[in-house]
A and B are shown apart, each in its own frame.
Chain A
Amino acid sequence: MSERLWRILVDSFPKILLPGLKMTVPLTVIAFSLAMVIATVVALIQFAHVKVLTQIARFYIWVIRGTPLLVQLFVVYYGLPKVGVVMDAFPAAVLVFSINEGAYCAETMRGALESVPVGQIEAGYCAGLNFVQVMRRIVLPQALRTAFPPLSNSLISMVKDTSLAANITVTEMFMATQRVVARTYEPLALYLEVALIYLIFSTVLTWVQRMGEKKLSAYGVKEARHA
Protein backbone atom coordinates (compact mmCIF):
# COMPACT_ATOMS: atom_id res chain seq x y z
CA MET A 1 0.00 0.00 0.00
CA SER A 2 1.39 3.40 -0.93
CA GLU A 3 2.16 5.87 1.78
CA ARG A 4 -0.30 8.35 0.27
CA LEU A 5 -3.15 5.88 0.40
CA TRP A 6 -2.28 4.93 3.94
CA ARG A 7 -2.35 8.58 4.99
CA ILE A 8 -5.73 9.08 3.31
CA LEU A 9 -7.15 6.12 5.18
CA VAL A 10 -5.78 7.26 8.51
CA ASP A 11 -6.88 10.87 7.98
CA SER A 12 -10.33 9.91 6.82
CA PHE A 13 -10.96 7.45 9.64
CA PRO A 14 -12.09 10.05 12.20
CA LYS A 15 -13.91 11.95 9.46
CA ILE A 16 -16.01 8.87 8.81
CA LEU A 17 -16.27 7.53 12.33
CA LEU A 18 -17.32 10.84 13.87
CA PRO A 19 -20.45 11.24 11.73
CA GLY A 20 -21.02 7.60 12.54
CA LEU A 21 -21.05 8.35 16.25
CA LYS A 22 -22.88 11.65 15.84
CA MET A 23 -25.48 10.63 13.24
CA THR A 24 -25.65 6.92 12.46
CA VAL A 25 -25.73 5.79 16.09
CA PRO A 26 -28.29 8.36 17.34
CA LEU A 27 -30.45 7.83 14.26
CA THR A 28 -30.43 4.09 14.86
CA VAL A 29 -30.98 4.29 18.61
CA ILE A 30 -33.78 6.88 18.51
CA ALA A 31 -35.57 5.41 15.50
CA PHE A 32 -35.34 1.86 16.77
CA SER A 33 -36.64 2.82 20.22
CA LEU A 34 -39.61 4.56 18.64
CA ALA A 35 -40.08 1.57 16.34
CA MET A 36 -40.28 -0.71 19.40
CA VAL A 37 -43.02 1.45 20.90
CA ILE A 38 -44.95 1.49 17.62
CA ALA A 39 -44.46 -2.24 17.13
CA THR A 40 -45.64 -3.12 20.63
CA VAL A 41 -48.74 -0.96 20.37
CA VAL A 42 -49.62 -2.16 16.86
CA ALA A 43 -49.04 -5.81 17.81
CA LEU A 44 -51.13 -5.52 20.99
CA ILE A 45 -53.98 -3.89 19.07
CA GLN A 46 -54.08 -6.86 16.73
CA PHE A 47 -53.58 -9.40 19.50
CA ALA A 48 -56.49 -8.00 21.48
CA HIS A 49 -58.63 -7.64 18.30
CA VAL A 50 -59.47 -4.01 19.03
CA LYS A 51 -62.05 -3.42 16.33
CA VAL A 52 -61.37 -0.40 14.11
CA LEU A 53 -57.77 -0.06 15.29
CA THR A 54 -56.95 -3.55 14.05
CA GLN A 55 -58.02 -2.51 10.53
CA ILE A 56 -55.85 0.59 10.76
CA ALA A 57 -52.91 -1.47 12.04
CA ARG A 58 -53.21 -3.92 9.14
CA PHE A 59 -53.41 -1.05 6.64
CA TYR A 60 -50.30 0.57 8.12
CA ILE A 61 -48.30 -2.66 7.91
CA TRP A 62 -49.55 -3.33 4.39
CA VAL A 63 -48.52 0.08 3.07
CA ILE A 64 -45.14 0.28 4.80
CA ARG A 65 -44.03 -3.23 3.99
CA GLY A 66 -45.24 -2.91 0.42
CA THR A 67 -43.20 0.19 -0.47
CA PRO A 68 -39.41 0.77 -0.58
CA LEU A 69 -37.74 2.52 2.31
CA LEU A 70 -35.96 4.86 -0.10
CA VAL A 71 -39.28 5.96 -1.61
CA GLN A 72 -40.67 6.57 1.89
CA LEU A 73 -37.65 8.77 2.68
CA PHE A 74 -38.16 10.78 -0.49
CA VAL A 75 -41.89 11.19 0.05
CA VAL A 76 -41.34 12.61 3.52
CA TYR A 77 -38.27 14.76 2.89
CA TYR A 78 -38.79 15.98 -0.68
CA GLY A 79 -42.52 15.40 -1.11
CA LEU A 80 -44.21 16.65 2.06
CA PRO A 81 -42.81 20.23 1.78
CA LYS A 82 -45.13 20.57 -1.24
CA VAL A 83 -48.06 20.38 1.19
CA GLY A 84 -46.38 22.59 3.74
CA VAL A 85 -44.79 19.94 5.95
CA VAL A 86 -41.13 20.89 6.08
CA MET A 87 -38.70 18.92 8.21
CA ASP A 88 -34.96 18.92 8.74
CA ALA A 89 -33.19 15.91 7.32
CA PHE A 90 -32.41 14.23 10.64
CA PRO A 91 -35.93 14.31 12.13
CA ALA A 92 -37.31 13.26 8.75
CA ALA A 93 -34.98 10.27 8.77
CA VAL A 94 -35.92 9.39 12.37
CA LEU A 95 -39.60 9.58 11.44
CA VAL A 96 -39.30 7.38 8.36
CA PHE A 97 -36.99 4.82 9.93
CA SER A 98 -39.13 4.42 13.03
CA ILE A 99 -42.36 4.09 11.06
CA ASN A 100 -40.75 1.67 8.63
CA GLU A 101 -39.06 -0.45 11.26
CA GLY A 102 -42.18 -0.31 13.43
CA ALA A 103 -44.20 -2.09 10.77
CA TYR A 104 -41.75 -4.95 10.41
CA CYS A 105 -41.19 -5.34 14.14
CA ALA A 106 -44.97 -5.23 14.74
CA GLU A 107 -45.25 -8.42 12.72
CA THR A 108 -42.42 -9.99 14.70
CA MET A 109 -44.12 -9.00 17.94
CA ARG A 110 -47.52 -10.23 16.84
CA GLY A 111 -46.05 -13.61 15.97
CA ALA A 112 -44.32 -13.74 19.34
CA LEU A 113 -47.52 -12.81 21.20
CA GLU A 114 -49.44 -15.49 19.35
CA SER A 115 -46.78 -18.09 20.17
CA VAL A 116 -47.66 -17.91 23.86
CA PRO A 117 -49.93 -20.91 24.52
CA VAL A 118 -53.58 -19.93 24.89
CA GLY A 119 -53.80 -22.36 27.81
CA GLN A 120 -51.45 -20.20 29.87
CA ILE A 121 -53.62 -17.16 29.23
CA GLU A 122 -56.68 -19.11 30.37
CA ALA A 123 -54.78 -20.36 33.40
CA GLY A 124 -54.02 -16.73 34.21
CA TYR A 125 -57.71 -15.84 34.06
CA CYS A 126 -58.53 -18.84 36.22
CA ALA A 127 -55.99 -17.64 38.80
CA GLY A 128 -58.01 -14.42 38.97
CA LEU A 129 -55.83 -12.19 36.82
CA ASN A 130 -57.49 -9.69 34.49
CA PHE A 131 -56.54 -9.05 30.86
CA VAL A 132 -53.92 -6.41 31.59
CA GLN A 133 -52.34 -8.51 34.34
CA VAL A 134 -52.26 -11.57 32.11
CA MET A 135 -50.60 -9.56 29.35
CA ARG A 136 -48.06 -7.94 31.62
CA ARG A 137 -47.17 -10.93 33.77
CA ILE A 138 -47.55 -13.93 31.45
CA VAL A 139 -47.79 -13.03 27.79
CA LEU A 140 -45.42 -10.10 27.26
CA PRO A 141 -42.44 -11.55 29.15
CA GLN A 142 -42.62 -14.70 27.06
CA ALA A 143 -43.32 -12.86 23.83
CA LEU A 144 -40.40 -10.47 24.33
CA ARG A 145 -38.13 -13.39 24.91
CA THR A 146 -39.32 -15.08 21.74
CA ALA A 147 -39.04 -11.83 19.80
CA PHE A 148 -35.60 -10.91 21.10
CA PRO A 149 -33.46 -12.70 18.49
CA PRO A 150 -35.47 -11.55 15.44
CA LEU A 151 -35.70 -8.01 16.84
CA SER A 152 -31.94 -7.99 17.36
CA ASN A 153 -31.54 -8.97 13.73
CA SER A 154 -33.81 -6.10 12.74
CA LEU A 155 -31.67 -3.69 14.74
CA ILE A 156 -28.51 -4.89 13.03
CA SER A 157 -30.14 -4.51 9.62
CA MET A 158 -31.23 -1.04 10.56
CA VAL A 159 -27.71 0.14 11.38
CA LYS A 160 -26.78 -0.70 7.83
CA ASP A 161 -29.97 0.69 6.30
CA THR A 162 -29.34 4.10 7.85
CA SER A 163 -26.82 4.61 5.04
CA LEU A 164 -29.89 5.30 2.89
CA ALA A 165 -30.39 8.50 4.87
CA ALA A 166 -27.49 9.94 2.87
CA ASN A 167 -30.03 10.29 0.07
CA ILE A 168 -31.92 12.93 2.01
CA THR A 169 -28.75 14.82 3.01
CA VAL A 170 -28.24 13.34 6.45
CA THR A 171 -24.47 13.43 6.89
CA GLU A 172 -24.13 9.99 8.38
CA MET A 173 -21.14 7.72 7.82
CA PHE A 174 -21.82 6.87 4.21
CA MET A 175 -22.25 10.46 3.09
CA ALA A 176 -19.09 11.40 4.99
CA THR A 177 -17.26 8.70 3.07
CA GLN A 178 -18.62 9.93 -0.26
CA ARG A 179 -17.26 13.35 0.51
CA VAL A 180 -13.77 12.04 1.18
CA VAL A 181 -13.93 9.95 -1.98
CA ALA A 182 -14.87 13.04 -4.01
CA ARG A 183 -11.75 14.78 -2.73
CA THR A 184 -9.25 11.92 -2.95
CA TYR A 185 -10.50 9.63 -5.76
CA GLU A 186 -9.84 6.50 -3.70
CA PRO A 187 -13.27 4.84 -3.81
CA LEU A 188 -12.13 1.26 -3.29
CA ALA A 189 -10.04 1.86 -0.18
CA LEU A 190 -12.50 4.32 1.38
CA TYR A 191 -15.66 2.34 0.72
CA LEU A 192 -13.92 -0.70 2.17
CA GLU A 193 -12.98 1.40 5.16
CA VAL A 194 -16.57 2.46 5.83
CA ALA A 195 -17.67 -1.13 5.26
CA LEU A 196 -15.24 -2.16 7.97
CA ILE A 197 -16.71 0.39 10.38
CA TYR A 198 -20.25 -0.88 9.69
CA LEU A 199 -18.93 -4.38 10.27
CA ILE A 200 -17.52 -3.35 13.65
CA PHE A 201 -20.86 -1.78 14.65
CA SER A 202 -22.74 -4.91 13.61
CA THR A 203 -20.29 -7.18 15.37
CA VAL A 204 -20.66 -5.28 18.62
CA LEU A 205 -24.45 -5.56 18.35
CA THR A 206 -24.26 -9.26 17.57
CA TRP A 207 -22.15 -9.68 20.64
CA VAL A 208 -24.68 -7.76 22.76
CA GLN A 209 -27.44 -9.94 21.27
CA ARG A 210 -25.61 -13.12 22.33
CA MET A 211 -25.23 -11.85 25.88
CA GLY A 212 -28.88 -10.87 25.97
CA GLU A 213 -29.98 -14.28 24.76
CA LYS A 214 -27.85 -15.99 27.34
CA LYS A 215 -29.35 -13.89 30.07
CA LEU A 216 -32.89 -14.57 28.86
CA SER A 217 -32.37 -18.32 28.74
CA ALA A 218 -32.12 -18.24 32.53
CA TYR A 219 -35.83 -19.19 32.54
CA GLY A 220 -34.71 -22.77 32.22
CA VAL A 221 -36.59 -23.31 29.01
CA LYS A 222 -34.78 -26.12 27.31
CA GLU A 223 -36.43 -26.23 23.93
CA ALA A 224 -34.91 -23.93 21.33
CA ARG A 225 -37.82 -22.03 19.90
CA HIS A 226 -35.76 -20.54 17.13
CA ALA A 227 -33.79 -23.57 16.17
Chain B
Amino acid sequence: MLEVRHLKKSFGGLTVLKDVSLRVNQGDVTAIIGPSGSGKTTFLRCLNLLEKADEGELVFDGQTYDLGHVSRRDIAAIRMRTGFVFQNFNLFSNKTALQNVTEGLIIARKMKKDEANAVAMQALGQVGLSDRAAYYPSQLSGGQQQRVAIARAMATKPDIVYFDEPTSALDPELIGEVLAVMRDLAASGMTMLVVTHEMRFARDVSNHVVFMEGGVIAEEGSSREFFANPREERTRAFLRSISEENR
Protein backbone atom coordinates (compact mmCIF):
# COMPACT_ATOMS: atom_id res chain seq x y z
CA MET B 1 0.00 0.00 0.00
CA LEU B 2 3.03 2.25 0.38
CA GLU B 3 6.35 1.89 -1.32
CA VAL B 4 9.34 4.21 -1.37
CA ARG B 5 11.98 3.71 -4.02
CA HIS B 6 15.49 5.12 -4.14
CA LEU B 7 14.88 8.04 -1.83
CA LYS B 8 17.81 10.45 -1.68
CA LYS B 9 18.14 13.60 0.35
CA SER B 10 20.99 15.91 1.26
CA PHE B 11 21.23 19.16 3.18
CA GLY B 12 23.80 21.36 1.52
CA GLY B 13 26.82 19.10 1.18
CA LEU B 14 25.62 16.58 3.76
CA THR B 15 24.00 13.49 2.28
CA VAL B 16 21.46 12.29 4.84
CA LEU B 17 19.55 9.65 2.89
CA LYS B 18 21.47 7.57 0.36
CA ASP B 19 19.07 5.54 -1.69
CA VAL B 20 16.46 4.29 0.77
CA SER B 21 13.74 1.91 -0.40
CA LEU B 22 10.98 0.46 1.73
CA ARG B 23 7.68 -1.38 1.33
CA VAL B 24 4.82 -1.16 3.78
CA ASN B 25 1.77 -3.39 3.53
CA GLN B 26 -1.72 -2.60 4.70
CA GLY B 27 -1.93 -3.06 8.48
CA ASP B 28 1.84 -3.28 8.94
CA VAL B 29 3.39 -1.77 12.00
CA THR B 30 6.93 -1.00 10.91
CA ALA B 31 9.47 0.12 13.48
CA ILE B 32 12.44 2.16 12.32
CA ILE B 33 15.35 2.02 14.70
CA GLY B 34 18.89 3.29 14.46
CA PRO B 35 21.40 5.64 16.03
CA SER B 36 20.77 9.34 16.32
CA GLY B 37 21.63 11.23 13.15
CA SER B 38 21.10 8.25 10.87
CA GLY B 39 18.32 10.02 8.94
CA LYS B 40 15.18 8.50 10.47
CA THR B 41 13.39 11.80 11.03
CA THR B 42 14.38 13.08 7.60
CA PHE B 43 13.03 9.88 6.06
CA LEU B 44 9.58 10.33 7.62
CA ARG B 45 9.54 14.03 6.80
CA CYS B 46 10.31 13.29 3.15
CA LEU B 47 7.39 10.86 3.01
CA ASN B 48 4.80 13.54 3.66
CA LEU B 49 6.76 16.33 2.08
CA LEU B 50 7.69 18.35 5.14
CA GLU B 51 11.09 17.96 3.55
CA LYS B 52 11.57 17.91 -0.21
CA ALA B 53 13.61 14.91 -1.32
CA ASP B 54 16.28 15.25 -4.00
CA GLU B 55 14.97 12.19 -5.79
CA GLY B 56 12.86 9.15 -5.13
CA GLU B 57 9.49 7.65 -5.87
CA LEU B 58 6.52 7.20 -3.62
CA VAL B 59 3.87 4.67 -4.51
CA PHE B 60 0.90 5.35 -2.31
CA ASP B 61 -2.64 4.08 -2.80
CA GLY B 62 -1.96 3.04 -6.38
CA GLN B 63 -0.51 6.41 -7.40
CA THR B 64 3.14 7.02 -8.12
CA TYR B 65 4.67 10.32 -7.11
CA ASP B 66 8.10 11.65 -8.04
CA LEU B 67 9.29 12.92 -4.68
CA GLY B 68 11.84 15.19 -6.34
CA HIS B 69 9.11 17.04 -8.25
CA VAL B 70 5.76 16.91 -6.50
CA SER B 71 3.04 19.40 -7.34
CA ARG B 72 1.38 21.36 -4.60
CA ARG B 73 -1.84 19.51 -5.30
CA ASP B 74 -0.16 16.11 -4.95
CA ILE B 75 1.41 17.22 -1.68
CA ALA B 76 -2.03 18.21 -0.39
CA ALA B 77 -3.50 14.91 -1.58
CA ILE B 78 -0.78 12.88 0.15
CA ARG B 79 -1.15 14.77 3.41
CA MET B 80 -4.92 14.34 3.38
CA ARG B 81 -4.41 10.59 3.63
CA THR B 82 -1.56 10.46 6.13
CA GLY B 83 -1.17 11.32 9.79
CA PHE B 84 1.97 12.54 11.51
CA VAL B 85 2.84 12.36 15.20
CA PHE B 86 5.82 14.49 16.20
CA GLN B 87 8.40 13.99 18.89
CA ASN B 88 7.37 17.30 20.53
CA PHE B 89 3.60 16.80 20.07
CA ASN B 90 3.22 20.16 18.29
CA LEU B 91 -0.35 20.71 19.43
CA PHE B 92 -1.85 24.05 18.40
CA SER B 93 -1.47 26.00 21.62
CA ASN B 94 -4.32 28.39 20.83
CA LYS B 95 -6.79 25.52 20.56
CA THR B 96 -8.33 23.09 23.00
CA ALA B 97 -7.72 19.36 22.78
CA LEU B 98 -11.03 18.98 20.95
CA GLN B 99 -10.28 21.83 18.54
CA ASN B 100 -6.85 20.35 17.85
CA VAL B 101 -8.59 17.25 16.59
CA THR B 102 -11.44 18.95 14.72
CA GLU B 103 -9.21 21.47 12.91
CA GLY B 104 -8.16 19.07 10.15
CA LEU B 105 -11.73 17.76 9.86
CA ILE B 106 -13.57 21.07 9.65
CA ILE B 107 -11.05 23.32 7.95
CA ALA B 108 -9.21 20.93 5.65
CA ARG B 109 -11.91 18.33 5.03
CA LYS B 110 -14.96 20.59 5.23
CA MET B 111 -16.77 18.32 7.65
CA LYS B 112 -19.82 19.77 9.44
CA LYS B 113 -18.97 21.02 12.90
CA ASP B 114 -21.34 18.68 14.75
CA GLU B 115 -20.06 15.67 12.89
CA ALA B 116 -16.44 16.72 13.42
CA ASN B 117 -17.04 17.15 17.14
CA ALA B 118 -18.54 13.67 17.34
CA VAL B 119 -15.63 12.14 15.42
CA ALA B 120 -13.12 14.04 17.57
CA MET B 121 -14.81 13.05 20.83
CA GLN B 122 -14.65 9.44 19.74
CA ALA B 123 -10.96 9.80 18.91
CA LEU B 124 -10.28 11.45 22.25
CA GLY B 125 -12.19 8.61 23.90
CA GLN B 126 -9.94 6.09 22.20
CA VAL B 127 -6.88 7.73 23.72
CA GLY B 128 -8.61 7.99 27.10
CA LEU B 129 -8.99 11.76 27.16
CA SER B 130 -12.73 12.40 26.82
CA ASP B 131 -12.63 14.38 30.04
CA ARG B 132 -9.86 16.66 28.77
CA ALA B 133 -11.57 17.79 25.57
CA ALA B 134 -11.92 21.40 26.74
CA TYR B 135 -8.35 21.69 28.05
CA TYR B 136 -5.67 23.73 26.33
CA PRO B 137 -2.32 22.01 25.61
CA SER B 138 -0.62 24.04 28.34
CA GLN B 139 -3.01 22.46 30.83
CA LEU B 140 -2.08 18.89 29.83
CA SER B 141 0.85 16.68 30.75
CA GLY B 142 3.29 15.65 28.04
CA GLY B 143 1.75 12.19 27.87
CA GLN B 144 -1.72 13.65 27.52
CA GLN B 145 -0.55 16.08 24.85
CA GLN B 146 0.95 13.26 22.84
CA ARG B 147 -2.27 11.25 23.15
CA VAL B 148 -4.22 14.26 21.84
CA ALA B 149 -1.72 14.45 18.98
CA ILE B 150 -2.38 10.78 18.23
CA ALA B 151 -6.13 11.40 18.31
CA ARG B 152 -5.60 14.33 15.94
CA ALA B 153 -3.60 12.13 13.55
CA MET B 154 -6.08 9.25 13.49
CA ALA B 155 -9.37 11.18 13.52
CA THR B 156 -8.97 11.90 9.81
CA LYS B 157 -8.92 8.13 9.11
CA PRO B 158 -5.54 8.20 7.37
CA ASP B 159 -4.20 5.27 5.37
CA ILE B 160 -0.95 5.43 7.32
CA VAL B 161 0.31 7.26 10.40
CA TYR B 162 3.96 8.27 10.79
CA PHE B 163 5.36 8.50 14.31
CA ASP B 164 8.69 10.24 14.93
CA GLU B 165 9.99 9.07 18.31
CA PRO B 166 6.63 9.74 19.97
CA THR B 167 7.87 8.96 23.47
CA SER B 168 11.37 10.47 23.38
CA ALA B 169 10.34 13.83 24.81
CA LEU B 170 8.37 12.29 27.67
CA ASP B 171 9.28 11.72 31.29
CA PRO B 172 9.77 7.98 31.85
CA GLU B 173 6.57 7.60 33.88
CA LEU B 174 4.48 9.01 30.99
CA ILE B 175 5.87 6.77 28.25
CA GLY B 176 3.65 3.82 29.14
CA GLU B 177 0.33 5.58 28.54
CA VAL B 178 1.40 6.69 25.06
CA LEU B 179 2.74 3.26 24.11
CA ALA B 180 -0.51 1.70 25.32
CA VAL B 181 -2.50 3.95 23.00
CA MET B 182 -0.21 3.08 20.10
CA ARG B 183 -0.59 -0.59 20.90
CA ASP B 184 -4.40 -0.24 20.72
CA LEU B 185 -4.07 1.60 17.45
CA ALA B 186 -1.87 -1.16 16.03
CA ALA B 187 -4.35 -3.79 17.19
CA SER B 188 -7.14 -1.92 15.41
CA GLY B 189 -5.32 -2.56 12.14
CA MET B 190 -3.89 0.91 11.55
CA THR B 191 -0.88 0.99 9.24
CA MET B 192 1.93 2.61 11.18
CA LEU B 193 5.52 3.62 10.48
CA VAL B 194 7.19 4.28 13.81
CA VAL B 195 10.64 5.68 14.49
CA THR B 196 11.37 4.58 18.03
CA HIS B 197 13.98 3.84 20.65
CA GLU B 198 11.55 1.64 22.55
CA MET B 199 12.86 -1.83 21.77
CA ARG B 200 10.01 -3.52 23.61
CA PHE B 201 7.54 -1.74 21.36
CA ALA B 202 9.54 -2.68 18.28
CA ARG B 203 9.72 -6.31 19.37
CA ASP B 204 6.21 -6.80 20.74
CA VAL B 205 4.01 -4.52 18.65
CA SER B 206 5.64 -4.07 15.28
CA ASN B 207 5.66 -6.88 12.75
CA HIS B 208 8.52 -5.45 10.71
CA VAL B 209 11.73 -3.76 11.83
CA VAL B 210 14.03 -1.51 9.84
CA PHE B 211 17.49 -0.64 11.08
CA MET B 212 18.83 2.61 9.62
CA GLU B 213 22.39 3.73 9.87
CA GLY B 214 24.29 6.44 8.03
CA GLY B 215 21.41 7.18 5.68
CA VAL B 216 20.84 3.63 4.49
CA ILE B 217 18.72 0.73 5.60
CA ALA B 218 21.38 -1.54 7.00
CA GLU B 219 19.04 -4.40 7.82
CA GLU B 220 15.33 -5.16 7.89
CA GLY B 221 13.14 -8.13 8.59
CA SER B 222 10.16 -9.45 10.46
CA SER B 223 10.47 -8.32 14.03
CA ARG B 224 10.79 -11.87 15.37
CA GLU B 225 13.61 -12.67 12.91
CA PHE B 226 15.24 -9.33 13.40
CA PHE B 227 15.60 -9.52 17.15
CA ALA B 228 16.25 -13.29 17.34
CA ASN B 229 18.90 -13.40 14.61
CA PRO B 230 20.28 -10.04 13.56
CA ARG B 231 22.44 -10.73 10.52
CA GLU B 232 24.63 -7.65 10.43
CA GLU B 233 27.37 -6.98 12.93
CA ARG B 234 26.41 -3.28 13.15
CA THR B 235 22.83 -4.26 13.99
CA ARG B 236 24.09 -6.44 16.82
CA ALA B 237 26.34 -3.62 18.03
CA PHE B 238 23.41 -1.20 18.03
CA LEU B 239 21.10 -3.60 19.87
CA ARG B 240 23.82 -4.21 22.46
CA SER B 241 24.32 -0.48 23.01
CA ILE B 242 20.57 0.05 23.41
CA SER B 243 20.16 -2.75 25.93
CA GLU B 244 23.06 -1.38 27.95
CA GLU B 245 21.44 2.06 27.91
CA ASN B 246 18.22 0.62 29.25
CA ARG B 247 19.82 -1.33 32.04
Contacts and interface: CB of A to CB of B under 8 A. Distances in A.
Interface of A: 117, 119-120, 122-130, 133, 137-138, 141-142, 145, 219-223
B238 interface: no
B109 to A, nearest CB: 6
Contacts of B84: 122-123, 126
Given A125-B50, A128-B79, A220 B108 contact: no
A145 B95 CA distance: 13
User: Is the contact region of chain A dominated by helix, strand, or loop, or is it mixed?
Assistant: helix
A138 B79 contact: no
Contact of A128 (B90, B104, B138): B104
Nearest to A126: B84
Interface residues of B, number: 29
A220 B107 contact: no
A120 B145 CA distance: 13
Contacts of B82: 126
A125 B45 CA distance: 12
26 contacts: A117-B93, A119-B90, A120-B91, A120-B93, A122-B50, A122-B84, A122-B86, A123-B86, A123-B92, A126-B84, A127-B156, A128-B107, A128-B108, A128-B109, A129-B103, A129-B104, A129-B107, A129-B108, A137-B103, A137-B107, A138-B92, A142-B94, A219-B94, A220-B139, A221-B93, A222-B138
Contacts of A128: 76, 79-80, 104, 107-109, 156
B90 A120 contact: yes
B152 interface: yes
B103 A220 contact: no
B109 A119 contact: no
A130 B108 CA distance: 8
B138 A127 contact: no
A221 B140 CA distance: 11
A126 B138 contact: no
Contacts of A120: 90-93
Nearest to A133: B107
A130 B76 CA distance: 8
A144 to B, nearest CB: 10
Contacts of B91: 120, 123
B152 A127 contact: yes
A122 B50 CA distance: 7
B111 to A, nearest CB: 11
A117 B136 contact: no
Interface string B69-94: 00000001001101110101011111
B48 A126 contact: yes
B90 A117 contact: yes
Given A119-B86, A122-B84, A126-B82, 13 more contacts: A122-B50, A122-B90, A123-B92, A124-B92, A126-B48, A128-B104, A128-B107, A128-B109, A129-B107, A138-B95, A142-B93, A219-B93, A221-B93
Q: Please list the 10 inter-chain residue pairs (A to B) with the smallest Cβ-Cβ separation, ordered nearest first.
A: A128-B108, A127-B104, A220-B136, A119-B90, A126-B84, A123-B90, A141-B94, A221-B138, A128-B104, A128-B80
A223 to B, nearest CB: 7
A133 to B, nearest CB: 5
Given A124-B92, A125-B50, A127-B103, A133 B136 contact: no
A129 B90 CA distance: 15
Contacts of A137: 92, 103, 107
B83 A221 contact: no
Interface in B120-161: 135-136, 138-139, 149, 152-153, 156
A128 B48 CA distance: 11
Nearest to A138: B92
Contacts of A220: 135-136, 138-139
